Structure 1
Amino acid sequence: MSKEAKLFGEKMKQMRETLDLSQDELAQELQISRISIANYEQGKQVPGLDAAIQIARKLGISIDQVSEEGAQLNLGNSLEKVSDSELKEKLKQSFAKAREDQG
């Protein structure tokens, strides 16, 4: 389990529970399987960038709040200083690394 996958899963579960959503409810709203939600939360699987963005939006948080890359870049208060394309590229690299670590 990669550090990125674990961090993403922990944050995702924390936010889902804060919103009082079950894994089933979140899966239905995102139109993905409950097993995928469980795997993401346990750090067994890393969602693709588009899925991660969709999850973050549904949970009402920014993608940098659920990614190691965001923590490393300290984007919380300075997101406007980072271009969308730059952020997307950094996140893509982070998720690609996490996927490599899994396989």
Structure 2
Amino acid sequence: MNTGTIISQLRDKNSFSQSDLAEKSQVSRVMIGKYERGEAVPSIDAAKKIADALGVSLDYLVGQTSQTSFDKRTLERIIELELLEESKKQTLYDLIDTYIRDFKTRKAFANVE
């Protein structure tokens, strides 16, 4: 998927008009329209501003990752998690694994009924 399509889909998902996104990103509405139509490709600076306004990573905005669930906030936490000492990271991983296992178990039992 190209960057313009991703911008358009995220803008719609956030219920932003092109003008709303332009205001939030400080990128002109005309340029946002051109990006969405594939008439222009955003510079790195413009793409970063748009990604920030839409709450996604730059990688996602430019189609370098398909991890739609990794919003900017999640990615920031993952980066900070990597800075922790190993024992603290393991404690957090264990906690995350417990929540994921419990979620999957509840989901599996909900589908059985």
| Shorter-chain TM-score tier | 0.5 to 0.7
Hey, what's the Cα distance between the residues in 1 that align with 2:25 and 2:3?
A: 17
**TM-score, structure 1 as length reference:** 0.59
- Runs of 4+ with >3 A deviation: none
Identity of aligned residues (%): 37
**TM-score, structure 2 as length reference:** 0.54
In the alignment, does 2:20 pair up with 1:10? no
Aligned partner of 1:62 among 32, 57, 60? 57
Residue type of the alignment partner of 2:40: Q
Which segments of 5 or more consecutive residues in structure 2 lack a partner in the other structure? 80-113
Which segments of 5 or more consecutive residues in structure 1 lack a partner in the other structure? 1-5, 82-103
Question: Which of 1 and 2 has greater Rg?
Answer: 2
**Cα RMSD (Å) of the superposition?**
2.2
Q: For residue 28 of structure 1, report the CA deviation from its aligned partner.
A: 1.7
Hey, what's the Cα distance between the residues in 2 that align with 1:25 and 1:54?
A: 13
Greater length-normalized contact order (CA 8 Å, ≥ 6 residues apart): 1
Hey, what's the Cα distance between the residues in 2 that align with 1:61 and 1:44?
A: 22
> How many aligned positions are there?
71
Hey, what's the Cα distance between the residues in 1 that align with 2:48 and 2:28?
A: 16
Other-structure match for 1:28: 23
Hey, what's the Cα distance between the residues in 2 that align with 1:30 and 1:66?
A: 13
